[in-house]
Chains A and B, each alone.
Chain A
Amino acid sequence: MRALAPLLKAARTLRGGPAALVLLALVFCAIFAPLLAPFPYDAMHLPSANMEPDAKHWMGTDEFGRDLFSRILYGARISLGVAVSSMAASVLIGVIIGGLAGYFGGWVDRTLMAISDMTWSFPEILIALVLIAIIGPGLGSTAVAITVGYFAQFARLTRAQIIALKGETYIEAARNLGASDAAILFRHLIPNAMTPVLVAGMLATGDAIILEATLGFFGLGAQPPLPSWGAIMSSGTAQIFIAPWVILYPGLVIAVAVVSINLFGDALIDALDIRGKLREG
Chain B
Amino acid sequence: MGDRAAPLVVLDSVSRSYSAGGGLFRPRRTMQAVDQVTLALQRGEITGVVGESGCGKSTLARLITGLIAPSAGHVRFEDADLATLGAPALRAMRRRMQMVFQDPYSSIDPRFSIRDAVLEPFEVQGIGLTEAEADARVAALLTMVGLDPSLGGNYPHHLSGGQKQRVGIARALALEPSLVVLDEPTASLDVSIQAQIIALLEALHARLGLTYVFISHDLRLVRYFCTRIVVMYLGAVVEILPEPQARPRHPYTLALMASTFVPDPTRRREVQPITGEIASPYDRPPGCAFAARCPRASALCRSERPLLVETAGHAIACHHPLE
Contacts and interface: CB of A to CB of B under 8 A. Distances in A.
- Indicate yes or no for A touching B, C-beta below 8 A: yes
Contact of A192 (B91, B109, B124, B171): B109
B140 to A, nearest CB: 18
B219 interface: no
A126 interface: no
Given A170-B106, A172-B101, A178 B120 contact: no
A173 B168 contact: yes
B111 interface: yes
Given A173-B101, A177-B94, A177-B171, A191 B111 contact: yes
A277 B87 CA distance: 34
A115 interface: no
A188 B112 CA distance: 9
Nearest to B125: A178
A168 B106 contact: yes
Interface residues of B, number: 26
Interface string A169-213: 110111111111001000010011000000000000000000000
B99 interface: yes
A131 to B, nearest CB: 37
B98 interface: yes
Interface in B65-105: 65, 67, 87, 91-95, 98-99, 101-103
Interface residues of A, number: 16
A177 B126 CA distance: 11
A178 B101 contact: no
A70 B106 CA distance: 54
Interface string B104-121: 001111110000000011
Interface string A138-180: 0000000000000000000000000000001110111111111
- The DSSP consensus for interface residues of chain B is loop
B108 A183 contact: no
Contacts of A177: 94, 98, 120-121, 124-125, 171, 175
Contacts of A172: 67, 101
A178 B108 contact: no
A175 B107 contact: no
B125 A173 contact: no
Given A176-B65, A176-B67, A176-B94, A169 B125 contact: no
Interface string A4-47: 00000000000000000000000000000000000000000000
B103 A169 contact: yes
A63 B124 CA distance: 64
A176 B98 contact: yes
Nearest to A184: B124
A189 to B, nearest CB: 10
B225 to A, nearest CB: 21
A183 B124 CA distance: 8
Nearest to A192: B111
A147 B193 CA distance: 52
B266 to A, nearest CB: 41
A169 B106 CA distance: 5
A154 B93 CA distance: 37
A177 B90 CA distance: 11
Contacts of B102: 169
Nearest to B98: A176
Contacts of B120: 174, 177, 179
Contacts of B124: 174, 177-180, 183
Contact of B107 (A169, A178, A180, A191): A169
A173 B91 contact: no
Given A174-B124, A176-B67, A188 B91 contact: no
B65 A170 contact: no
Most chain B beta carbons < 10 A, residue from A178, A179, A188, A191:
A178
B87 to A, nearest CB: 8
24 contacts: A168-B106, A169-B103, A169-B107, A170-B106, A170-B107, A170-B108, A172-B101, A173-B107, A173-B168, A173-B171, A174-B124, A176-B65, A176-B67, A177-B98, A177-B171, A178-B91, A178-B93, A178-B121, A179-B120, A180-B87, A180-B124, A188-B109, A192-B110, A192-B111
Given A169-B101, A179-B124, A188-B109, 4 more contacts: A170-B108, A173-B171, A176-B99, A178-B94
Which 9 A-B pairs give the minimum distances between C-beta atoms?
A178-B94, A178-B91, A169-B107, A169-B106, A179-B124, A170-B109, A177-B124, A177-B121, A176-B99
